[in-house]
Amino acid sequence: MELNFFGNFEVWKLHSLSDYLTFFSYIAAGAFVFWLIVRRMNKQRDHANALVRVTKKLKRLAKRPCRIYRNATVRLPEGDMTFDAVMADKSGIFLIRVYGWGLKIYGTPDGDTWRREDQKRKEEFPNPLHELKKGANALGGVLAERGYPRVRIMPMVVFADNYDMPELYLGYGSFSTTYRELKSWYKKQAGVKEAQYDFERVAAILDELTGTQQK
């Protein structure tokens, strides 16, 4: 059986110097393309790029009505709180934290810290659920005072390493998912057909609390 690449070039029939040069030029070209791909992936393997990818995907999944506030600082009675994103959709409001690298994630929903690792790095970081739940309670109080006590507000933690799909060892109730599994996770959390509250009015309150002016 003969292996043919690029037309009449037969890799197992290398006789002349020209044949060998051609063969190894193909290998070099392939290695160079692979290097460019890996280099581009590593450059995008950070928080800023991960946040852009996650919010764009969430906007596609949520459809309308939906409003996403990226890098949102919310003015609350307890003080300003900043989130990677705040999203209002038909089901309620999500307070979102995104992580751009980490292939193995360890922790528990109630622990003080979590840990993320890849091939070269290990890092402990504060459990994001504590801050997200605190923000959810504070925002829920504001909405209740404004006449909207039944809006569901919940955390969302997304691990969006583009090198490979992260493995999560966080236990039940971590409100966490990966970028690749975001679609199925989101559908389970927000599987409603119609808005469960006065979306436009609550979105206007979020505009006010985040200092956002909608066009």
Q: Check: CB of residue 118 under 8 Å from CB of residue 163.
A: yes
Q: Measured between alpha carbons, how far is residue 95 from residues 9, 23, 43, 130, 135 in Å?
A: 57, 54, 26, 12, 8
Q: Closest Cα to residue 168, out of 120, 130, 128?
A: 128
Instruction: Write out the two tokens for 48.
Output: 């800023």
Residue 29 has pLDDT above 50, yes or no: yes
Rounded Cα distance between 20 and 95, Å, is 58
pLDDT in tens, 130-180: 999 999 999 999 999 999 999 999 999 999 999 899 999 999 999 999 999
Q: In CATH, what class is 47-210? A: alpha beta
> pLDDT exceeding 70 applies to what percent of the chain?
80
Q: Would you tell me how many other CB atoms lie within 10 Å of the CB of residue 105?
A: 22
Confidence band for 119, pLDDT divided at 50, 70 and 90: confident
Rounded Cα distance between 17 and 19, Å, is 5
Mean local confidence (pLDDT), 72-76: 96
Structure-derived torsion over alpha carbons of residues 33, 37, 40, 45, reported in degrees to the nearest 10? -160
> pLDDT exceeding 90 applies to what percent of the chain?
72
Residue 42 has pLDDT above 80, yes or no: no
Rounded Cα distance between 26 and 62, Å, is 44
Q: What is the mean pLDDT of the chain?
A: 88
| Helix locations, the chain, DSSP H | 17-43, 47-62, 128-145, 182-189, 199-210
- Looking at residue 44, what is its pLDDT? 57
Structure-derived torsion over alpha carbons of residues 174, 178, 182, 188, reported in degrees to the nearest 10? -30
Kindly report the pTM of this predicted structure. 0.81
Rounded Cα distance between 146 and 202, Å, is 9
Rounded Cα distance between 140 and 94, Å, is 12
Give the residue carrying structure tokens 């992580």: 99
